[in-house]
Structure 1
């Protein structure tokens, strides 16, 4: 059965570039991103893992841990890291999970047989500290991920959790947000949104981003 938003992310233990990794223990009280790449020593994947390393500070300030995964073995991952560091000007600083037996890939539906019988697609799972899947994005092998979008999704999810707002189309950090429809009590609205809000319709109320 395919995983869906709102599901508890499946736990697993698998070898990685940092040793044996138990997924739920590794997440701890952090947010997490688990993403698959089709194969080691491939061009698009090399750029993605390099950029992940360069964005380490951005992930840390959002309390996000990142792990990558492919069906290659640990030795291959370690050899490939040398290439990533050399060509991308970085130091890979996050675990790459070795899924040679495809246990995790199949558990997370990362192998799409109509695309490839053997290689993982570019899946991204956004997971909160309660181990719940909050968003899923899947790209084909030929399309490198937009990491600005990955950070944007994290920011949006965390705003919803902390401030009871949603983010409108094309929202970027600092833009106005939408007050969630479930909030209706005027006193609660006044307390939660001291900057005020503009009611365009009873269901459409815009407010300045609360944490800015």
Structure 2
């Protein structure tokens, strides 16, 4: 399986997001981050999962944890999708950035590949301020 695993440092990739472009290490540097991926925009399960993260974003923020989504579509698709996410998940507000990966170049580097389908997967990494993948927040 390509990509990172527990204890590895997340590559310092330059990413395009719904908020702005940044390097991952700059985003992770001062807090814990929950990085989660989804195969594509406008799918029923992905929509409600991103909505749930939006609904509980304030709970993460109160604990000093940032959220960062990733979906294998472009920025415009993400921006068009956000109103659906919020509409289908009452109480949700997508305040976190969503990374664009339309060429599916980022997901293998982050080991967010379905081993059976060999394509994008629903995956989650807990990333510490040291930019390493962890199995818990301490």
Which protein has the larger Cα radius of gyration, Structure 1 or Structure 2?
Answer: 1
**Higher relative contact order (Cα pairs below 8 Å, separated by 6+ residues):** 2
2:104 is aligned to: 102
1:13 is aligned to: 14
| Structure 1: gaps of 5 or more residues | 136-152, 159-212
What TM-score do you get using the length of structure 2 for normalisation? 0.90
User: Deviations along 1:72-114, whole A, 9 cap, x unmatched?
Assistant: 0000000000111112122211001001122211101222352
- Is 1:111 matched with 2:116? no
Superposed counterparts of 1:30-69, under 5 Å: 30-69=31-70
RMSD, aligned α-carbons: 1.5
1:133 is aligned to: 133
CA apart distance, 1:116: 4.6
- Equivalent position SS for 1:102: coil
Task: Decide whether aligned partners of structure 1 residues 116 and 6 sit closer, same or farther in structure 2, where only a CA change above 3 A counts.
Answer: closer
1:124 is aligned to: 124
- Equivalent position SS for 1:32: strand
| Structure 2: gaps of 5 or more residues | none
What TM-score do you get using the length of structure 1 for normalisation? 0.60
The 8 Å contact of residues 37 and 123 in structure 2, kept in 1 or not, is answered as yes
